[in-house]
Each structure stands twice: as C-alpha cells, then as structure tokens.
C-alpha cells in the first residue's frame, strides 16, 4: 500500500461510512483515485461461464451501485466487475445511518435496502461502458413491487444489452421477505422468468444466482437442484449474513447484513457444499471475507472458479487487488500449479 493510498484511506475514515463511500465513488469516476498497477499473467487467466477473465479476482456488487465509476474500476486490475443492484424504479432504500464499519472485526454491516437510481439511469451509463472490462449487473426488486419476481426480468430487459452477465440477487437480508424467493418453487418460477427475458435479448447473457450463507443443508440442496434444472450459468456464494457470533466492535448489534472477515468460514463452507451438491458442474464464485491471497486461494480450493471482494477494500484499498493476484501466483508456485484453473476444488473436502 502506497503512502498516498494509506493517507487517502485514513482521510475517508474520518467521515461517516456512507459519505466516505460516496467520496470514493466520486474520486474513481473523476479519475482522481490512485490506482494500482494491474498484475498481468497468463497463469491467472481463467474462464467463467464462457467469459474470459484476465484473473479470478472480481469486484462484488454493492460497491458501485449505479455504475458511476466504471472507468476507474476498469483500470483497477479486477478480473471482472459487478455493479448494482438495480431495481426497475429508483428507490431511496432504508433510512440513514445504514452502513457501519467494524474495524476490530475487519467487517462491515449494511442495511441499504437496494438504494439505487433505477434501471433506466443505470442502463444509460452501462451503454457507455469502457472497453476491456468484463462487466456484470446485479438484478434486484423494488421494495413496494406487486411482482418482485417480475422485477428481476424487467431489469434484465432494460439493461441486458450492455452487460456480460447478470446476477439474480434473492439473498439480500435488507429487503423484507426477499429471501423467501430462495425457496425451490418460488426460485424456479423467478429464474424461468429471467431466462425468458434473456431469450428476448439479441445475445445470450450468462445468468448467475447469488445466495445467502444462512441456509441449512436441505435449503442448499434445493437451490442446487433448481440451479441445475433451470440451467443457471453460475452461483455466487455468498451474500451477507444475519449472524453476529464473536464480534468485538461497537456496532456489532446493528441490524443488517454482515460482511468481511467474520463471514469467511461460513461462506466458504456453503461454497464447498454447493460444489459437492452440484458435482462441480456449475461454476461457483466465492465471496465473503476475501481479504488475502490465502483466503482467495482457499475459496478456489473449496470449489470456486473465481472470487469477489468488497468489504476488504474499506480497510485495504484497491492495492489489495494486485496483492491478491501476486499472492495467488506465489501460492501456485509453492504447490506446483501452472494455471489458476487447476486449483478449483482441490481442497473441497477440507470444508465439508
């Protein structure tokens, strides 16, 4: 981490978390944020659901909700970037404050509630996206919608022409009853609607499914079955958790989804279980507590083809991205792997 980045992070931490996040987005959109030098190596090149990724380290949804900082993010060294979540109509989300740093736990709690400027505004920015970036959109539903399942398909119709993949997000804990859509029957119907919307697009866009970490074995088995039957292209495991075990920070009891280091073990176990349940036939993306090369490597070994991060950037900055990629190369050297694709699933049994 450079002195400039260290000073910038310290300055941001002097503001409340949501204001600081807004400044970070603005700096990236204006080209004022210091960007690390990307790590370029054929050993990191991989494929995910037919997408060619320069490296397996992606940015999770939620960081750039409204696709405002695509230029900066395209140059930050990510293998792929996911923006959103987008809902058909703009919505303010939940009242502020709704974002909390937990520095003693290297974690974050948020209860945003799908705040975004709406699919029309986001589509206009996506249409002008920079070249040379694998870009996805997280699909959401309006809180007051009479047809939440239909909202996901509507956002895809509005934005699908401008993205490389789209993620069905039924796992946010901050929209009441949204997670009810993870049930087998409701999820099947929702995904069928999204897949029909995809069929109406001029080109095929891979559809990912993002699930919660707070699922029991039967619920995971049901989701694996639905994903297999409907032909979902990949599963993202996982979103934030409602659990609060072992936290030390002052904001630990705030309502919302917990992300960051405390989520790592829970989300990695879910990832490994999904890899087992799907017999490795559906690509998986590991997210939750990725803050070091060792943790990214563990996600890959548990069954992931790629990883995503977000919360760790609050504490480590964008220089974390090349550090992870350099670290993955070092770990491959240690274990005798020529390419990152050879890692996937090699340590799944350790997490079952």
Q: Which residues contact 146 (CB under 8 A, 6 or more apart)?
A: none
Domain CATH code at residue 281: 3.20.20.70
Q: Which residues contact 280 (CB under 8 A, 6 or more apart)?
A: 303, 344, 345
The pLDDT value given to residue 74: 97
Give CA–CA dist 250/228, Å, rounded: 42
Provide the residue-wise pLDDT of the chain in tens; the chain has 352 residues.
Answer: 888 899 999 999 999 999 999 999 999 999 999 999 999 999 999 999 999 999 999 999 999 999 999 999 999 999 999 999 999 999 999 999 999 999 999 999 999 999 999 999 999 999 999 999 999 999 999 999 999 989 999 999 999 999 999 999 887 776 766 767 778 888 999 999 999 999 999 999 999 999 999 999 999 999 999 999 999 999 999 999 999 999 999 999 999 999 999 999 999 999 999 999 999 999 999 999 999 999 999 999 999 999 999 999 999 999 999 999 999 999 999 999 999 999 999 999 999 9
DSSP 8-state class, residue 37? P
DSSP-assigned states of every residue in 43-81: GG-EEETTEEESSSEEEPTTSSTTS--HHHHHTTT-SEE
Task: Give the position of tokens 């997670």.
Answer: 179
Identified catalytic residue from 29, 172, 251, 305: 172
Domain count, the chain: 1
Strands (E), 238-283: 257-260
Residue 14 is a catalytic residue? no
**Residue-number span of the structural domain to which 70 is assigned:** 3-351
**Tokens of residue 329, six digits:** 């190369």
**Tokens of residue 81, six digits:** 């970037």
* Strands laid side by side in the 257-260 sheet: 99-102, 107-110, 257-260
Crossing angle (nearest 10°) for helices 264-277 and 217-230: 50
Q: Are 195 and 152 in contact (CB under 8 A)?
A: no
Q: Are 123 and 139 in contact (CB under 8 A)?
A: no
């Amino acid at each position: 981490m450079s002195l400039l980045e260290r000073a910038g992070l310290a300055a941001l931490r002097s503001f409340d978390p949501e204001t600081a996040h807004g400044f970070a987005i603005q700096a990236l959109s204006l080209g004022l944020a210091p960007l690390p030098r990307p790590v370029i190596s054929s050993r990191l090149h991989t494929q995910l659901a037919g997408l060619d990724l320069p490296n397996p380290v992606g940015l999770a949804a939620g960081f750039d909700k409204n696709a405002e900082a695509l230029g900066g993010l395209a140059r930050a060294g990510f293998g792929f970037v996911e923006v959103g979540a987008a809902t058909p109509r703009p919505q303010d989300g939940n009242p502020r404050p709704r974002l909390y740093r937990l520095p003693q736990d290297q974690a974050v709690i948020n209860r945003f509630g799908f705040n975004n400027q709406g699919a029309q505004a986001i589509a206009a920015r996506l249409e002008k996206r920079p070249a040379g970036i694998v870009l996805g959109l997280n699909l959401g539903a309006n809180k007051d919608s009479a047809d939440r399942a239909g909202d996901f398909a509507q956002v895809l119709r509005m934005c699908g022409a401008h993205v490389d993949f789209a993620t069905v997000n039924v796992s946010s804990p901050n929209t009441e009853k949204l997670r009810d859509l993870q049930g087998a029957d409701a999820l099947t119907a929702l995904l069928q609607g999204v897949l029909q919307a995809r069929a109406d697009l001029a080109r095929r866009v891979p559809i990912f499914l993002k699930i919660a970490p707070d699922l029991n074995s039967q619920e995971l088995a049901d989701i694996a079955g639905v994903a297999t039957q409907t032909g979902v292209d990949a599963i993202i495991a996982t979103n934030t958790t409602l659990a609060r075990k072992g936290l030390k920070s002052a904001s630990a009891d705030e309502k919302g989804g917990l992300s960051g280091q405390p989520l790592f073990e829970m989300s990695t176990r879910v990832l490994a279980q999904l890899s087992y349940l799907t017999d490795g036939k559906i690509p998986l993306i590991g997210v939750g507590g990725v803050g070091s090369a060792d943790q990214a490597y563990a996600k890959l070994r548990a069954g992931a083809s790629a990883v995503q991060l977000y919360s760790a950037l609050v504490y480590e900055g964008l220089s974390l991205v090349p550090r992870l990629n350099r670290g993955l190369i070092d770990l491959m050297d240690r274990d005798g792997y020529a390419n990152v694709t050879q890692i996937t699933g090699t340590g799944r049994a350790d997490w079952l």
